[in-house]
Structure 1
Amino acid sequence: MGMMTAESKETDRLIDMLRRSALLEELQQEALDRGELQDRLGVSRATCHRHTRTLDEFGVIERVDGRFQLTDAGRLLTDALTTFKRDAGSALRLAPVLDAVKDAPVEIDAEAFADATVTSAERGDPYSPVARFVTLMQETETLYGFDVDGIAPLYMEEIKDRIVSGMKTEDLVLPEAAKNALDEYPEKCMEACMSGYLTIQLHDCLPFGLAVFDDRVGIGVCEPDARQLRVFVDTGSQEVREWAEAVYEVYESEAVLMEEFTHQEFHEAMERGGLELTM
């Protein structure tokens, strides 16, 4: 077995710190004795002793009057570990979106999403990405994009109400999504269309959901072979907005306008565009 390099030793040390980051984060709040640490972390006395001994040897915690507290180096380390865990978690949640946009007709650097808000469907809260979209929709005066209905199909009433109340909306939709909306919500579709604030166009290939609000841009990715939103990412980045505008223009140039949101107009638009349902 070869001798460990200084770099590999440093890597192992950082891994040790990450494994014990929960303990450091507890001490970031307040000094604690060993029993309190055991209770907070839910570990045995032996495990707690091993963790505190290791961290003490690294010089990031110290024991004063029977209570453990962070050293100056420990406070810096804990801040760094907290930031790393947050950013790494965001990067992992962002992965489905980066994978979806990589084949978009306009390229964008992943770094443009560095400050994005990432909302993922979680066990026990599968609709949190949809809720995030609805929150942004309620705050905007204009909305355009594509497959927006795919982002929030269960919130047709809220979307319709915002459109009727004056939210100017342009949406490129998949033919099957338009047909489903007409079949399931005919009155809502008609009311939104008759308001004069809604423009619907059909497109037969939309790889992700795009929503351009007044101040932010949102991207939604659904579960494979399902219409349930998996992750919704939104950002105020000007670079992402410019990219979104360019991508929208490409897809809009290929879309077919529905002059009215009716079954008849739907079929006429399908014929004009030579589109086919894939349902």
Structure 2
Amino acid sequence: MDRAAVDDAVALLHRAPVLAACRGGPTDRSTLADRAGVSRATAYRATNALTERGLLERRTDGYRLTGFGRAVLTHVESFEAGLAGARTLAPLLARVDAPELVSNTHLFTDATVLTADRSAPYRIDQELASIVADTSREMVGVTTSFGSPVVMERTYEVVRSGVPVEWVLTPETFEGVRSHHGDGHDELMAMDTTATYLIDEPPLDIAIYDDTLVVPSYDPDSGVVAAVATTDDPDALAWARGVFEDCRERAERLD
């Protein structure tokens, strides 16, 4: 992208509030300025520039979006949401470079992200254990690691209560769980409400506990959770379920 194109894109980002102010139909400059939160002078310059570019159309009752303007506004807002989500997920993305997550950061603008902190070393474990303990309908996920003892214990308690569980693991993770929690794991695998699948290379780690999505990242040396993002956004949950179902389809179920 050359400098002129970059400057043009930046100008559109700055003027996006003016475009958005016209979304509901023809809008006069005074109303437009109030909706966009800009001065009337700024609104005057912006509407002139956007009209010249073909993004707005001037009518007797005000300015309205053209089809081109509506398309540009849609893409600008998508970009802004993706950027906001990327900023939110920055601690996670420092360790997780999964294309599926990178291309869907717009789903995480309102996510809560916790990071490992020496001043509060157990806060991630406590948050995850609380989410797991509150699960009453379903637990599904894809993982390349297994949780701390307290999280695993909460997980086993929930599974024993009869909550349906489907989990896709790597062979290494499966063997790790069995070696650390052998008796309990074998007991739970035998339950009718559980299903375990093996896959060699999952795209990323995700877990859905009822209506809460959890996306963790692990420290490569210790294997402990270094950062975790949680959200109850319906679109994020739908995306995560699609990732899970794709992995489940490609995985081998253990009997």
| TM-score class, shorter | 0.5 to 0.7
Residues 60-97 of structure 1 deviation map (CA, whole Å, 9 limit, x = unaligned):
xxxxxxxxxxxxxxxxxxxxxxxxxxxxxx96662143
In the alignment, structure 1 residue 203 sits paired with structure 2 residue 217: no
1:173: how far off?
A: 0.8
CA RMSD of aligned residues (A): 2.7
Secondary structure of 1:150 counterpart: coil
In the alignment, structure 1 residue 119 sits paired with structure 2 residue 114: yes
Distance (whole Å) between structure 2 residues aligned to residue 148 and residue 162 of structure 1: 21
1:258: how far off?
A: 0.9
1:208: how far off?
A: 3.2
Contact persistence 1:164–1:191 (CA under 8 A): no
**Alignment partner of 1:214 out of 169, 192, 210:** 210
**Alignment partner of 2:133 out of 126, 138, 148:** 138
2:39 is matched with: none
Residues 202-247 of structure 1 deviation map (CA, whole Å, 9 limit, x = unaligned):
1111353211121111100101243110111111111111110111
Contact persistence 1:132–1:232 (CA under 8 A): no
Residues 117-138 of structure 1 deviation map (CA, whole Å, 9 limit, x = unaligned):
1111111323322221211111
Contact persistence 1:108–1:243 (CA under 8 A): no
TM-score (norm 1): 0.55
Contact persistence 2:206–2:216 (CA under 8 A): yes
1:147 is matched with: 143
Contact persistence 1:151–1:209 (CA under 8 A): no
In the alignment, structure 1 residue 236 sits paired with structure 2 residue 241: no
Give the % identical residues. Answer: 23
Structure 2 residue runs without a partner (length 5+): 1-84
TM-score (norm 2): 0.60
1:195: how far off?
A: 2.7
Aligned residues: 171
Change (3 A) 1:201 1:153: farther
Secondary structure of 2:146 counterpart: helix
1:199: how far off?
A: 0.9
Q: Which has the larger radius of gyration?
A: 1
1:257 is matched with: 253
